[in-house]
Each structure stands twice: as structure tokens, then as C-alpha cells.
């Protein structure tokens, strides 16, 4: 069973939702964050990327940054930019992008269920990347950004959500600068709140779609609080973390493409001949970019030309949910053996391009500072759930979810 419970949300006043809401902290660098927040004192980037408000000579991981984040959050509450609901509530969060709709429940999930794998993972995390969010959450005494979770669709939950939306006015309804519509409803009916918790209690597993480092950081902050308060009961807010939970049928995964700096000593002709050992290679004869339209096919951009690569039979295990992933096929049969990319998490010769940037970004990067680029067919939700159910781990940079959850629409206070 999955434990999902309501919380006293800290959120913007209704008229300031669009000004407060920001892109998640990890899709931008420091300079980009500063530019995005320029002229907007209400932007939640002042909390999740507080380094924009300290001297540029100070490291973004300095204690002063996290102290500034806490001050900024406190000031937003004191000034009435953010308010806290009086009682525990659930929220409905709907996003619309290019006509696609995803609608989820905002609530709090259990750090114990993360630890015992009721909340399933599909990626490794790096401790050094967790530390930043641990400090942000700990200093702010709050989960300042939600975790993106999913579950296998549930008709009863769909009906409940649709009925609430049909008969209630949203608290926020705005379109952000990236043309994504964000709509939020507040669920304040005690019977409906109980029904939501009961429905989730009948769902066996939740799955992390996006936010593995944020979730790991949330759990470690909760465990740190338990050590500080050894007589905890389990009901304290620090035992739970902020989540937005969507049915799997709503979610959309985009391609996550690769670019590499050099050919590892091969000439162009030698490289192409080596590729032919494991892939059927054809020069793209159509107009413009080659975009893969099915699994096990890849686009390659090299020396101003696009090629189609098709994986040959026998180079991967169709019964293995990880080995049959396209990102695994490319890594195991081309990037590692030919280009020498053994660990894509740490190798400085490889770069990754989220599908939201388009395949034109592959061309731009190859023309600017890279040598070869690869266009991927997107990983599917079935792939993700199958790997998580098998207790396996996806290769890095396997999934790019769009739209991203906005930060600042919901904050979960950890202290009482």
C-alpha cells in the first residue's frame, strides 16, 4: 500500500501564482537563474537558487547561500506573498503542453516507503549532488520543490479528480512564459481527502518519474531530524516529503540525445565502418534532420550529414528490460567500445541534450564544440515501470519528462 497524506500547503496568493512559480532548480545554471529572476522579486528562484542573491565570488554551495534561501522564504511569508493553509489539504495540479494534459495529486509521501521500496526508483544518485538539496531543505525547514511520482492508472482516482474539477473553481490558472498552462485546485472537503488517501492505500507502488536526487535528499533530511528527535512518533511532517503524483497514462517522455567531442582516434570513414559491425547504417536521403520513429533506430549527425542507424539482431537481450533500452544499446555497442565512453555520468567528452531543445540543438552543438551527435527514440513509460519493478537501474540520462513541475506553487513545512 502507498501512504499519501494531505498537508498544510504553503503557496502563493491567487494573484501571484504566475510571478512566484519558477522552473525547477536543476534545469538551469547560476547565470540563467539570475537572468530568469531579474526584475521579479517574487520569483521562487530566490529560494531554490538563492546564489543569485549573493556575491558571484561566493560558491553556490556556500552556507551563506542556504541562509539566504531561508531568509527569502521567511520574507515571502512575512510579506504575504506566500500563505499557509490552515488545515491539511490535497491539491490537484494540471499542466497542459501542446494540447497534452497531465493531472496529478499533490500530497506528501513517506520517507519509510522510499526506504522500503514501496516508492520505486530507476536511477542511481550521486551523494555530492544530494548535498545541495539536503542543505536547501534543511536550512529552509521545508521541502521547497516537489518530487515527480507516478502510479499505474486507477479509474477510481480519475473519477474523483474529474468530479472535483467539474464542480470547483481553480485557485490558479495561468500560462507561463514557456507556453505551458498550470491549473491548481484546492481539495478542502474532509470526505474527499479521506477518499484520496484510501485510494492510494490500495495502490501497491509509486514510482519516481523525475527527481531522484530531490527524493534522496528529502529522505536524508527526514532521517537527520529523526536522529535529532529520537522520541519521534512518525507523524511529524519531517517523516514525509512533498510529491506530485500522476497516473502513468498522462505522462510524456521525450528523447534524451547525446553528443560526443571526438571520434576516439578514428577517421570518419573508419568510424562508419566500425559502426556497421553492430548497426545497419544508411545515409539519410530525406530533407533535413533524421528523427527516429521506432525503437532500436538512431539518428547520427556527423560532418554535416544525418545517418540512420538500426541495431542488428543479437546485439542486445530482448528479455532484459535494461539491455533492450535504446540508451543501453547505443552505450554498450557504440559509445563505450568505439568512442571510449565507459562512464557517461563522469566522462567530460559526452554531453546530453533534452528533447525539449529539438534535434536542431544536436546540429548546433556538433558544429560548435562537438564531433558527432546521436538522436534517440524516447524511452517509454512501460520501459520505466518494468525496470523499476525488476529492481534494476536505468542508464544515466534515459528519460526527459515534459512539462516540468514548477517550484513555488507548493511548499511543505518540515517543522511543526
pLDDT in tens, 189-226: 999 999 999 999 999 999 999 999 999 999 999 999 99
d(CA 187, CA 27): 30
Three-state DSSP at 28 gives: coil
d(CA 241, CA 147): 8
- What was the pLDDT predicted at 128? 84
- What was the pLDDT predicted at 416? 67
Strand partners, 275: none
Three-state DSSP at 414 gives: coil
- Beta-sheet pairing, 297-302 with 305-311: antiparallel
**Average pLDDT per block of 10 residues along the chain, 416 residues long:** 96 97 93 95 98 96 97 98 97 97 98 96 87 97 97 97 98 96 98 98 96 95 96 97 98 96 97 98 91 97 97 96 96 98 93 93 97 97 94 91 95 92
Cis peptide before 403 (omega within 30 of 0): yes
Helix (H) or strand (E) holding 139: helix 127-140
C-beta of residue 350 within 8 angstroms of C-beta of residue 335:
yes
Three-state DSSP at 62 gives: coil
- Beta-sheet pairing, 90-97 with 82-84: unpaired
Strand partners, 361: none
List Cβ neighbours of 189 (8 Å cut-off, separation of 6 or more): none
Fold classification of 256-377 is 3.30.1760
* Domain definitions of the chain by residue range: 4-252+402-413, 256-377
C-beta of residue 413 within 8 angstroms of C-beta of residue 8:
yes
List Cβ neighbours of 306 (8 Å cut-off, separation of 6 or more): 283, 284, 288, 289, 290, 299, 300
Helix (H) or strand (E) holding 76: helix 63-78
Three-state DSSP at 42 gives: coil
Burial pattern 314-324, b for ≥16 Cβ within 10 A else e, equals: eebeeeebbeb
Q: Within a 13 Å sphere around the CA of 416, how many CA atoms are in the beta-carbon half?
A: 5
pLDDT tens-digit map of 337-379? 999 999 998 899 999 999 989 999 999 999 999 999 999 999 9
Amino acid at each position: 500500500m502507498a501512504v499519501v497524506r494531505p498537508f498544510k500547503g504553503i503557496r502563493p496568493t491567487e494573484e501571484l501564482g504566475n510571478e512566484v512559480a519558477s522552473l525547477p532548480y536543476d534545469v538551469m545554471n547560476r547565470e540563467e537563474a539570475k537572468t530568469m529572476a531579474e526584475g521579479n522579486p517574487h520569483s521562487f528562484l530566490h529560494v531554490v537558487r538563492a546564489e543569485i542573491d549573493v556575491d558571484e565570488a561566493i560558491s553556490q554551495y556556500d552556507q551563506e547561500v542556504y541562509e539566504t534561501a531561508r531568509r527569502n522564504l521567511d520574507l515571502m511569508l512575512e510579506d504575504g506573498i506566500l500563505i499557509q493553509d490552515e488545515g491539511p489539504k490535497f491539491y490537484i495540479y494540471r499542466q497542459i503542453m501542446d494540447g497534452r494534459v497531465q493531472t496529478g495529486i499533490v500530497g506528501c509521501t513517506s520517507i519509510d516507503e522510499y526506504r522500503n521500496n514501496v516508492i520505486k526508483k530507476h536511477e542511481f544518485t550521486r551523494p555530492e549532488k544530494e548535498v545541495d538539496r539536503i542543505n536547501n531543505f534543511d536550512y529552509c525547514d521545508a521541502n521547497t520543490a516537489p518530487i515527480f511520482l507516478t502510479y499505474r492508472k486507477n479509474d477510481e482516482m480519475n473519477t474523483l479528480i474529474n468530479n472535483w474539477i467539474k464542480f470547483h473553481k481553480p485557485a490558479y490558472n495561468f500560462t507561463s512564459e514557456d507556453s505551458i498552462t498550470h491549473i491548481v485546485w484546492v481539495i478542502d472537503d474532509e470526505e474527499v481527502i479521506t477518499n484520496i488517501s484510501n485510494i492510494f492505500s490500495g495502490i501497491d507502488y509509486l514510482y519516481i518519474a523525475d527527481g531522484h536526487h530531490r527524493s534522496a535528499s528529502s529522505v536524508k533530511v527526514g532521517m537527520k531530524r529523526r536522529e535529532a528527535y529520537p522520541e519521534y512518533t512518525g507523524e511529524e511532517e519531517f517523516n514525509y516529503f512533498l510529491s506530485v503524483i500522476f497516473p502513468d497514462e498522462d505522462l510524456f517522455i521525450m528523447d534524451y540525445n547525446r553528443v560526443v567531442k571526438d571520434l576516439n582516434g578514428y577517421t570518419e570513414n573508419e568510424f562508419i565502418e566500425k559502426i556497421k559491425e553492430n548497426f545497419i547504417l544508411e545515409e539519410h536521403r530525406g530533407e533535413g534532420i533524421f528523427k527516429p520513429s521506432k525503437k532500436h533506430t538512431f539518428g547520427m549527425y556527423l560532418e554535416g550529414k544525418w545517418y540512420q542507424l538500426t541495431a542488428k539482431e543479437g546485439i542486445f537481450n530482448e528479455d532484459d528490460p535494461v539491455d533492450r533500452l535504446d540508451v543501453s544499446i547505443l552505450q554498450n555497442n557504440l559509445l563505450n567500445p568505439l568512442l571510449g565512453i565507459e562512464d557517461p555520468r563522469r566522462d567530460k567528452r559526452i554531453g546530453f541534450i533534452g528533447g525539449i531543445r529539438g534535434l536542431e540543438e544536436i546540429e548546433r552543438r556538433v558544429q560548435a564544440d562537438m564531433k558527432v551527435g546521436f538522436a534517440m527514440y524516447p524511452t517509454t513509460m512501460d520501459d520505466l515501470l518494468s525496470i523499476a519493478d525488476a529492481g534494476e537501474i536505468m542508464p544515466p540520462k534515459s528519460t526527459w519528462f515534459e512539462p516540468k513541475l514548477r517550484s513555488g506553487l507548493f511548499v511543505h513545512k518540515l517543522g511543526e
